[in-house]
Amino acid sequence: MVLNRRVVVTGMGMVTPIGLTVRENWDSILACRSGIGPLTKFDIPALPVQIAGEIKNFNPENYIDKKEVRRMDPFIQYAMAATAEAMADAGLTVDDENSERIGVILGSGQGGITTVEQNTLRAYNGGINRISPFFIPSAIINLASGQVAIKYQLRGPSYGIVSACSTGVHAIADGYHTIQRGDAEAMVVGGSEATIVPTGIAGFAAAKALSRRNDEPEKASRPFDLNRDGFVSSEGAGVLILEELEFARHRNATIYAEVTGVGMSTDAFHITAPDPEGRGPRVCMQNALKNADIAAEEVDYINAHGTSTQLNDVTETRAVREVFGQHADKLAISSTKSMTGHLLGAAGAIEAIYCAKAIEHQILPPTINYDTPDPECDLDYVPNKPRRAKLDVCLSNSFGFGGTNATIVLRRT
């Protein structure tokens, strides 16, 4: 068994409400452009929430054979699109010699909820004979990984991750560990989500988790701001190509950043609410620093979980102060969810990409809609515009329902 091999990011792809490529996303981040708008996928006036972060101008046939499109739930389609960009970006060629050493781990919080909803309605309204034979393979979460493996002939480890909003980072962590221990040379990792359907929006609204700022959708996601009132549900995918360092160097791959550590923990407190003392996030970040073998003072930037909910933002702030002490006042922290909304199981993956881009360009992503400071959120949230800064080490936090927590550490190479 080979241990502690170095793991780097060599390719990235994404589909989000602010862009269909990494470049479009990064341009939107620097322009402080919100991707939140009125719901257009369906019209149910009785819903108290009428806003979301929808994907615009997405044509799955640009990435998938037309015949195959109808066999894939949108969450799989988004994963396929993001993977296509990431594989092209990495320039990773799969052949008979390396296919068994390349795997894929893609996760989702809710998987094929669109397909489940459609086929449930068919079952009740038209009888069981109207159920699609592709219902199950279109809906189950591991089929995002399965479809990617089939398309690119990846014969290494392949499975799905399900851990609510921590899913994307957990997928990266598993890919990192797989390469580190010698079970693969490269891994396709990330998350995908497509929950903008009536039951998805209604369910989160019933839990009182969503913003109801229907008259100002572009201002609805406002992490750490005093007047925040909930997160905005969004859709999309983020995919990264991870490689063992020497494997990447041997083929002269572009290296965006090194994954130097991951941390995990569980609140063990409540099914949806965070522990108000922030114990879980604190332990998670401490574990990540220990795993990366770095001191708290070495961290330059944190891409916060920062959902724009009252409890989460205060809890995360409290945890950061406990972990970083006096250095917390020197840290830059921002929530890109202020622009993208919350992509749930895809959030951790797209936010890891934003960290890699921040390192590449030495620019801090902003937190937009930060208008009124909250006395309980008293850190530097890079308000309302990007900022140039020296960035060597970034953390990205993802915390999910059920108290699941994950943190990734990226370092400039």
For Cα atoms 287, 288, 291, give the angle at the middle one, nearest 5 degrees.
85
Question: Do 245 and 282 lie in a common domain?
Answer: no
Q: Within a domain: residue 201?
A: yes
Banded pLDDT at 129 (limits 50, 70, 90): confident
Is 126 or 336 the better-scoring residue by pLDDT?
Answer: 336
Question: Do 33 and 92 lie in a common domain?
Answer: yes
- The yes-or-no verdict on residue 80 having pLDDT over 60 is yes
Residue 126's pLDDT is: 79
Residue 3's pLDDT is: 64
Region of 239 please: left (phi>0), alpha (psi -120 to 50) or beta: beta
CATH number reported for the structural domain that contains residue 51 in this entry: 3.40.47.10
Question: Do 48 and 134 lie in a common domain?
Answer: yes
| Backbone dihedral angles phi then psi of residue 118, each to the nearest 5 degrees | -60, -45
- Note if 165 is an active site residue: yes
Question: Do 26 and 138 lie in a common domain?
Answer: yes
Question: Do 120 and 204 lie in a common domain?
Answer: yes
- Note if 327 is an active site residue: no
Q: Last residue of a domain, which of 250, 270, 305?
A: 250
Instruction: For residue range 82-122, list pLDDT tens digits in order.
Output: 999 999 999 999 999 999 999 999 999 999 999 999 999 99
The radius of gyration computed from the CA coordinates of the chain, to the nearest angstrom, equals 20
Q: Within a domain: residue 112?
A: yes
Mean pLDDT, residues 142-162: 98
Question: Do 204 and 56 lie in a common domain?
Answer: yes
Pairing mode, strands 236-244 and 363-364: unpaired
> Residues near 104 by Cβ (< 8 Å), separated by ≥ 6?
145, 148, 149, 152, 154, 156, 157, 158, 187, 188, 189
Q: Within a domain: residue 255?
A: no
- Tell me the pLDDT of the chain averaged across its residues: 97
Amino acid identity of 149? A
Secondary structure in 3-state letters for the chain:
CCCCCCEEEEEEEEEECCECCHHHHHHHHHCCCCCCEECCCCCCCCCCCCEEECCCCCCHHHCCCHHHHCCCCHHHHHHHHHHHHHHHHHCCCCCCCCHHHEEEEEECCCCCHHHHHHHHHHHHHHCHHHCCCCHHHHHCCHHHHHHHHHHHCCCCCEECCCCHHHHHHHHHHHHHHHHHCCCCCEEEEEEEECCCCHHHHHHHHHCCCECCCCCCHHHCCCCCECCCCCECEECEEEEEEEEEHHHHHHCCCCCCEEEEEEEEEECCCCCCCCCCCCHHHHHHHHHHHHHHCCCHHHCCEEECCCCCCHHHHHHHHHHHHHHHHHHHHCCEEECCHHHHCECHHHHHHHHHHHHHHHHHHCEECCECCCCCECCCCCCECCECCCEECCCCEEEEEEEEHHHEEEEEEEECC
Q: For the chain, give the percent of residues with pLDDT over 70.
A: 99
Set 170, 284, 342, 355: catalytic member: 342
Residue 191's pLDDT is: 98
Q: Last residue of a domain, which of 250, 279, 310?
A: 250
Residue 284's pLDDT is: 98
Instruction: For residue range 264-321, list pLDDT tens digits in order.
Output: 999 999 999 999 999 999 999 999 999 999 999 999 999 999 999 999 999 999 999 9
CA 15/CA 35 separation, integer angstroms: 12
Mean pLDDT, residues 343-362: 98
Question: Do 196 and 310 lie in a common domain?
Answer: no
Residue 130's pLDDT is: 85
Q: Within a domain: residue 142?
A: yes
Residue 127's pLDDT is: 78
Banded pLDDT at 55 (limits 50, 70, 90): very high
Question: Do 91 and 126 lie in a common domain?
Answer: yes
Q: Within a domain: residue 301?
A: yes
Mean pLDDT, residues 157-181: 98
Domain count, the chain: 2
Q: Which residue in the block uniquely carries the two structure tokens 């750490």? A: 224
Question: Do 231 and 266 lie in a common domain?
Answer: no
- The yes-or-no verdict on residue 2 having pLDDT over 60 is no
Banded pLDDT at 221 (limits 50, 70, 90): very high
Q: What is the model's pTM?
A: 0.97
Closest CA to 222 of 342, 350, 376, 320: 342
Q: Terminus-to-terminus CA distance in the chain, angstroms?
A: 26
Structure tokens at 28: 């939107």
Set 165, 284, 377, 394: catalytic member: 165
Q: Within a domain: residue 256?
A: no
Set 170, 284, 305, 355: catalytic member: 305
Closest CA to 42 of 118, 132, 111, 122: 118
Residue 181's pLDDT is: 95
Banded pLDDT at 240 (limits 50, 70, 90): very high
CA 13/CA 22 separation, integer angstroms: 6
- The yes-or-no verdict on residue 1 having pLDDT over 70 is no
Question: Do 216 and 271 lie in a common domain?
Answer: no
Question: Do 63 and 87 lie in a common domain?
Answer: yes
CA 23/CA 20 separation, integer angstroms: 8
Q: Within a domain: residue 1?
A: no
Residue 167's pLDDT is: 98
Mean pLDDT, residues 383-412: 98
Q: Last residue of a domain, which of 190, 215, 250?
A: 250
Q: Within a domain: residue 151?
A: yes
CA 235/CA 322 separation, integer angstroms: 33
- The yes-or-no verdict on residue 63 having pLDDT over 90 is yes
Question: Do 24 and 167 lie in a common domain?
Answer: yes
Mean pLDDT, residues 365-386: 98
- Note if 250 is an active site residue: no
Task: List the domain range (segments joined by +) for residue 59.
Answer: 8-250
